[in-house]
Structure 1
Amino acid sequence: MKSLFTILSLCLFSLSHAQKGFDQKLADSLGADQYGMKSYYLVILKKGKAEITDKAKKSELMKGHMDNISKLAKDGKLIVAGPMLEKNPNDYSGIFILDAKTKEEAERLVLTDPSVKAGIFETEIYKWYGSAALPLYLKSHDKLTRVHF
């Protein structure tokens, strides 16, 4: 009986400890499910078919690409973005993680990027499940950035 009481006590302690830092208001504001997770859309940017040889035009499109990334992040739609740092056999160039309700919304958001519209990048879009807290890192990232694109 004593060992049963010990096991039951440990179970109750574990349950109360697991709830200790839980913040319902924060979870609700971020759209978290019971696991603290939510659905996003993972966008893989791949090298597109467009061969733009005009350096000024390509530079303008890439500036538009970076400006669009900033706008989508400011609007709370772009959660993560970054380039691939190594060549790879799939011609992957970078990724976006978008906070969109549907794949159609994610596709519309991707098409706001002038480099995608111009064919510099092609995209693959997949529904992805990750931490609902991902958007919170952007506030910290701004504090780490000395130079903005």
Structure 2
Amino acid sequence: MKSLFTILSLILFSSFSNAQNKGFDQKLADSLGADDYGMKSYYLIILKKGKAEITDKAKKAELMKGHMDNINKLAKDGKLIVAGPMAEKNDNNYSGIFILDAKTKEEAESLVLTDPSVKSGIFDMEIYKWYGSAALPFYLKSHDKISKIKF
């Protein structure tokens, strides 16, 4: 009797664990490159303080304007999914992050190197493959609707 209960419990549990999402949209999942869990691989870039010491304020301002322009271009091109600065100083000298939609680590690195603040050495980078929701690109469209000031 105990064995029969165990077998029935396993069958019942497995039917719940493989249950299909009733709101699943195959066309949307395919358009976003989602796997069966609604996830996909991205590249997480951690920007950290670089070795360059640029003391010319006008030059540094120009490079940071280029940094923001590049962020906007990568977002418009659908390559940059998330970006933002660290909210506070930290022991690792991390300055901010990017999450990029790139096929390879080499592609992600080449995208980051389009940033003049990285090329100049203001920022250095660490690159990691990261697994997250394939729906992340939708947040940028919502963000445009809630931000009063555009970068």
- Regarding TM over 0.5, the answer is yes
Structure 1 residue 14, shift from structure 2 partner: 7.9
Which one-letter code corresponds to 2:133 in the other structure?
Answer: S
Structure 1 residue 15, shift from structure 2 partner: 6.0
Of 45, 69, 72 in structure 2, the residue corresponding to residue 70 of structure 1 is 72
| Structure 1 residues 114 and 19: alpha-carbon distance in aligned structure 2, compared to 1, 3 A threshold | same
Partner SS for 1:38: strand
Q: Deviations over 1:8-62 (max 9, x none)?
A: 789768866x421000000000000011000000000000000000000000000
Q: Deviations over 1:92-149 (max 9, x none)?
A: 0000000000000001000000000000000000000000000111110000111112
Of 72, 81, 84 in structure 1, the residue corresponding to residue 83 of structure 2 is 81
How many equivalent pairs are there?
Answer: 146
**2:121 maps to 1:133:** no
CA RMSD of aligned residues (A): 2.0
Of 29, 34, 37 in structure 1, the residue corresponding to residue 36 of structure 2 is 34
Partner SS for 1:81: strand
2:76 and 2:33 map into 1 onto residues whose CA distance is 18
Map of 1:92 onto structure 2: 94
The TM-score with structure 1 as length reference comes to: 0.90
1:8 and 1:89 map into 2 onto residues whose CA distance is 50
2:31 and 2:22 map into 1 onto residues whose CA distance is 19
Partner SS for 1:34: coil
- Percentage of matched positions with identical amino acids: 79
- Structure 1 residues not aligned, in runs of 5+: none
Which one-letter code corresponds to 1:125 in the other structure?
Answer: I
Moved over 3 A (4+): 7-16
2:86 and 2:73 map into 1 onto residues whose CA distance is 21
The TM-score with structure 2 as length reference comes to: 0.89
| Structure 1 residues 10 and 116: alpha-carbon distance in aligned structure 2, compared to 1, 3 A threshold | closer
| Structure 1 residues 45 and 13: alpha-carbon distance in aligned structure 2, compared to 1, 3 A threshold | closer
Structure 1 residue 85, shift from structure 2 partner: 1.0
Map of 1:117 onto structure 2: 119
2:128 and 2:43 map into 1 onto residues whose CA distance is 6
Of 141, 147, 150 in structure 2, the residue corresponding to residue 148 of structure 1 is 150
